């Protein structure tokens, strides 16, 4: 509280530090605050403190942002490391599982052993159908099997006729040879080496015969074979002669002699 210089009334000094003048409420005189210099220093100190506080708040905010960014990066790094470890384990497991599969396919030819892949059954079926038109009858169903060596089968031929063996191989058998053996183990017939060989033997007496399918060197895979009983060539010729119509008989030529 101070007194007005004009009317000597008691007036209240404002509390705001930025106030430099004051007005008398009685006479309206404008007076300077009594502690103007101290107020200026206090106001400047307050402003400086406020600026420092704002700078500290901004620095604290930036530090919080940096800390949050660092925590996010650490989480991402840990996640990436866990992902790398997980994928490493998966790849290790896949490599451990793939090795037996590759070995089984390349070394042991597992798909062919399980019955997958070509075996030449379609070619055998076509040839058997063609032979059926000339009277050949299969002695059993065609057999498809996996082999990497020689296949040997025993077959018995009942009645008159010839034994005909038909075979065909898959992609792993490009060269097959058929051989027929009699009861004494003597080879009586042999076919050329092809991908779908055929051989025929006409025995003079009934009995069991054995045929072999010899695969080429280092060949492996599936093949199909079937045995058929076909009529002998003589029987076919006789049937053809019976089926043929007789030629018309010519009238005897008259002699010109009297």
This prediction's pTM: 0.52
User: Can you tell me which residue has the tokens 């990436």?
Assistant: 80
Model pLDDT, residue 115: 55
Spatial separation of the C-alpha atoms in residues 198 and 188, rounded to whole Å: 14
Q: Compute CA 226 distance to the chain's CA centroid, rounded to the nearest angstrom.
A: 35
Total count of residues recorded for the chain: 258
Higher pLDDT, 226 or 111: 226
Q: Indicate whether 2 pLDDT > 90.
A: no
For 120, other C-beta atoms within 10 Å of its C-beta total 24
Q: Indicate whether 205 pLDDT > 90.
A: no
**Mean local confidence (pLDDT), 29-43:** 82
Model pLDDT, residue 250: 52
Model pLDDT, residue 238: 47
Q: Indicate whether 99 pLDDT > 80.
A: no
Spatial separation of the C-alpha atoms in residues 158 and 147, rounded to whole Å: 29
**Mean local confidence (pLDDT), 165-188:** 92
Q: What is the chain's mean pLDDT, rounded?
A: 82
């Amino acid at each position: 509280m101070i007194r007005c210089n004009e009317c000597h009334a008691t007036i209240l000094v404002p509390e705001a530090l930025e106030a430099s003048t004051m007005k008398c409420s009685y006479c309206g005189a404008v007076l300077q605050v009594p502690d103007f210099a101290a107020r200026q220093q206090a106001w400047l100190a307050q402003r400086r403190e406020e600026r420092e506080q704002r700078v500290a708040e901004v620095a604290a905010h930036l530090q919080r942002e940096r800390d949050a960014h660092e925590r996010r990066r650490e989480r991402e790094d840990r996640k990436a490391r866990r992902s790398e470890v997980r994928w490493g384990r998966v790849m290790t497991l896949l490599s451990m599982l793939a090795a037996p599969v590759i070995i089984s396919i390349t070394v042991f030819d597992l798909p062919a052993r399980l019955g997958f892949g070509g075996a030449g059954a379609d070619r055998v079926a076509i040839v058997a159908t063609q032979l059926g038109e000339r009277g050949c009858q299969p002695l059993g169903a065609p057999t498809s099997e996996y082999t990497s060596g020689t296949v040997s089968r025993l077959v018995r031929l009942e009645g008159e006729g010839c034994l005909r063996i038909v075979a065909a191989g898959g992609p792993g058998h490009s060269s097959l040879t058929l051989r027929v053996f009699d009861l004494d183990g003597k080879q009586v017939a042999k076919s050329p080496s092809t991908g779908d060989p055929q051989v025929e033997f006409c025995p003079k007496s009934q009995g069991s015969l054995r045929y072999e399918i010899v695969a080429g060197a280092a060949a492996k895979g599936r093949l199909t074979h079937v045995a058929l009983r076909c009529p002998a060539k003589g029987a076919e010729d006789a049937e053809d002669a019976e089926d043929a119509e007789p030629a018309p008989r010519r009238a005897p030529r008259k002699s010109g002699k009297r």
